[in-house]
Chain A
């Protein structure tokens, strides 16, 4: 491991496990390349609040060295492209996904027509360590909804990389649901490129994990493009959720709307890191970022860093960040109307996250709403 200054216990354990995997020559090469780089440093600015090394180290303690089936990827029966899989990203997480994923879990797709029903993206994971890397290209003018749900089926470490490329005028609505997995460390990294007049909408619902990190790196590739990023995290027990995003605005007239809300109960821990980067070429950018949390436990913790980096003088970038608790007056009022305390609290919490669902496509409203209701029932 020549590339890293400090080699942690997690780096060493992970290297041992990766080298013990029965993989082909090409994947072996990716394993060697990753080991050379190692996990992102815990001192790196964007990892200081989520200790990946600790989570990986803890997870690998229970790792039995048995090989299972390879992870494979499916997208609602659509055939993957036949071209050789190729990615330009060299982030350590992307490299880790490359080391862990066999060819069956590295796929590219091209969407060339509208789909009214949501397409379901599935990484079928049968190992305790698994990864996938999926590229989806949406052709000019096409509209599509892609749904992905991450379940807890015994993975210790799940690393998923997604690349979405939207051609001019394309519209992708992406919904990602991450179920609770208290023994799971998962990192989802998405790279999104939106061409002129394109529109990318993303909704993330995260119930937390040992460590659940969802990263979005979005860059506009042309003028008049738009992105709506919303989501909610709902945390109980020892669940942790980390929402990290970097939005690049190098073109004229692009609009970003970002809104994340969260509720933290028990020993839950939440991290929000958002960044708008506007170079001098990004004039008339209109970008708004909001992150709001209800912290409802003495043992919970919320950390947020809504960041702006602006080099263009005619833009409007705003960020808001609040942390608070339930409004006592509202609770009192509802109790006067005959609601029991638990119901009143649930209603306020439901109303709090409801705003993040406004942008969801109609077909998804019910499914996502039910998930939230079930969580509220269990949590209270």
Chain B
């Protein structure tokens, strides 16, 4: 709930206040429910449930063993409490770990076989699932291939044939297990191991569906790939698993969107995303996270506890994360880059906006292991109503990571006096050649740019405002075209009057 406009500091840009207000849960457009027959696994988590999920997906034995080992490990783990978020204890036995539209069967089929209710749902969300719909749009509009994940299963994956012509594999994770077992076995868990953390281990035991992407050597993926996650079934959690492999010299841009119906209960979303970039490969991963944030009293909403990590395994590889976080009741999410290959680089651009009683503890980790590695972190946090917004980030430079470079800038803004904005950066350096800069001020702008603006007749204050606002937009511009509409409201956001 936004505080009374009269209480909003006059240092703030009114457009920003309005843009933030537009994101309040009262204006949540994706909160409808799809009435569809759903098949559930029995409630709760046990070895039987893991076996049930694995059997449903007709998985090979090795994968079942992999899941069971993770379950065993998870049962002895404790939930992390270090994040600045506060939520009632989750009863992990009161969740459906598998929920699938009945007609969906074991996996995606042709579009004609998909339940029209589901198609209608995606149409309502504005996600084009019919290839001709995409083509019928504006002339020259870029194509986007979509993997639509509905609760625990992938229902449709578009443009597969066209992609296959370039050798690109774009399919649901369940299919990849059957069709490309060697690739899955080689890379699954190689970035986020089953022992990584409480939520990643849980995901490893019960993951349902997600997207698998493989870009062969030297291929520039001919279109944007995307996955649209929809949580629908009541009382269920979503545990998707995404794996993207970019072979040497390849390029892919991947988009991810997520929404959920308005429900009074809290729903758990614990996903794992693994990216692998080999020599000279580039992966651009963008997210617009818009899970149901809970109502204005703080009731309901999604617990978004996600582990996303990219491994720049090859020389001169590049991974870039861009995220716009506006949804979820509680967010616990740190998309990270392991800069293992010499000359590799990682980027993290983030705008996190919290309203009502939302809580977000989000940021990134840049782990510099190779020589001449480079990372850049730009994070903007806006907090309104009774929300708490925390940036938590780590930059680590290993003893052998010669010539590492990092630049971090994180700004936060408070709208009203009942919310909080926090910054918790961890910097750990063990190599003398490293040059690291971290700042969280709005005044420390490029002297050259300020000078230039002043030469053009702006006074210092105007020049500063221009540069700061430009910066927020810079993050927005990193988003691919397809998200431009969804993110339009956010373009009005400025960090004028930021607190730190």
Contact = CB atoms under 8 A, between A and B. Distances in A.
A371 interface: no
A300 B8 CA distance: 47
Contacts of A319: 423, 438-441, 500
A311 interface: yes
Nearest to B423: A308
Nearest to A306: B425
B15 to A, nearest CB: 17
A295 B432 CA distance: 5
A308 B434 contact: no
Given A303-B427, A318-B444, A323-B435, 11 more contacts: A276-B500, A300-B432, A308-B440, A309-B422, A313-B416, A314-B499, A316-B499, A318-B439, A321-B425, A321-B427, A321-B438
Interface string B399-428: 100000000000010111111111111111
A266 B74 CA distance: 42
A276 B421 CA distance: 12
12 contacts: A298-B399, A303-B428, A304-B426, A308-B440, A311-B420, A313-B9, A313-B419, A318-B444, A320-B441, A321-B438, A322-B435, A322-B438
B500 A298 contact: no
Contacts of A314: 9, 11, 499
A258 to B, nearest CB: 13
Nearest to B384: A313
Contacts of A305: 424-427
Contacts of B443: 318
Interface residues of A, number: 37
Nearest to A297: B432
B248 to A, nearest CB: 32
A296 interface: yes
Contacts of A325: 432-433, 435
A280 interface: yes
Interface in B432-490: 432-441, 443-444
A315 B412 CA distance: 11
B500 A303 contact: no
B441 A318 contact: yes
Which of A310, A317, A320 has most chain B Cβ within 10 Å?
Answer: A310
Contact of A45 (B82, B417, B423, B441): B82
A293 B435 CA distance: 10
Contacts of A303: 426-429
B420 A302 contact: no
B500 A322 contact: no
Contacts of A288: 441
A183 interface: no
Counting chain A CB atoms within 10 Å of each CB, which of B419, B425, B427, B444 scores highest?
B427
Interface string B312-353: 000000000000000000000000000000000000000000
Contacts of B425: 304-307, 321
Contacts of B440: 308, 317-320
Contacts of B420: 309-311
B415 A307 contact: no
B428 A310 contact: no
Contact of A320 (B416, B421, B444): B444
A320 B444 CA distance: 10
A74 B152 CA distance: 71
Contacts of A293: 429
B123 interface: no
B412 A310 contact: yes
A202 to B, nearest CB: 22
B197 interface: no
B124 to A, nearest CB: 37
A338 interface: no
B77 interface: no
B316 to A, nearest CB: 24
Contacts of B399: 298-299
Contacts of A276: 500
Nearest to A296: B432
Contacts, number: 125
B430 interface: yes
A310 B422 contact: yes
Contacts of A300: 430, 432
Contacts of A283: 417
Interface string B2-19: 000000110100000000
B438 A317 contact: no
B431 interface: yes
B422 A307 contact: yes
Contacts of B428: 301-304
Contact of A324 (B11, B82, B435): B435
Contacts of B421: 308, 310
A380 B86 CA distance: 51
B87 to A, nearest CB: 19
A310 B443 CA distance: 18
A301 B431 CA distance: 7
A19 to B, nearest CB: 33
Nearest to A288: B441
A111 interface: no
A345 to B, nearest CB: 13
Given A307-B424, A324-B436, A313 B499 contact: yes
B434 A295 contact: yes
B429 A320 contact: no
The 7 closest A-B pairs by CB, nearest first: A317-B500, A318-B441, A313-B414, A321-B438, A308-B423, A304-B427, A323-B436
Contacts of B427: 302-305, 321, 323
A334 interface: no
A301 B500 CA distance: 27
Contacts of B11: 314
A162 B414 CA distance: 36
Given A307-B422, A308-B422, A323-B434, A318 B500 contact: yes
Nearest to B406: A323
Contacts of B423: 306-308, 319
Contacts of B500: 276, 308, 310, 315-319
A322 B436 contact: yes
Nearest to B413: A313
A306 B428 CA distance: 12
Interface in B80-105: 82, 84
B337 to A, nearest CB: 19
Given A295-B432, A323-B429, A325-B432, A313 B417 contact: yes
A283 B11 CA distance: 13
Nearest to B432: A295
A309 B11 CA distance: 20
Contacts of B438: 306, 319-322
Contacts of A45: 82
Interface in B105-151: none
A290 to B, nearest CB: 9
A312 B416 CA distance: 8
Nearest to A309: B422
Given A308-B500, A320-B438, A280 B417 contact: yes
A309 to B, nearest CB: 5
Nearest to B390: A309
Contacts of A306: 423, 425, 438
A317 B418 CA distance: 17
Query: Which of B435, B438, B444 has its CB near the most chain A CB atoms (within 10 A)?
Result: B438
A136 B422 CA distance: 33
A317 B500 CA distance: 4
Given A312-B414, A323-B434, A301 B429 contact: yes
A262 to B, nearest CB: 12
Nearest to B436: A323
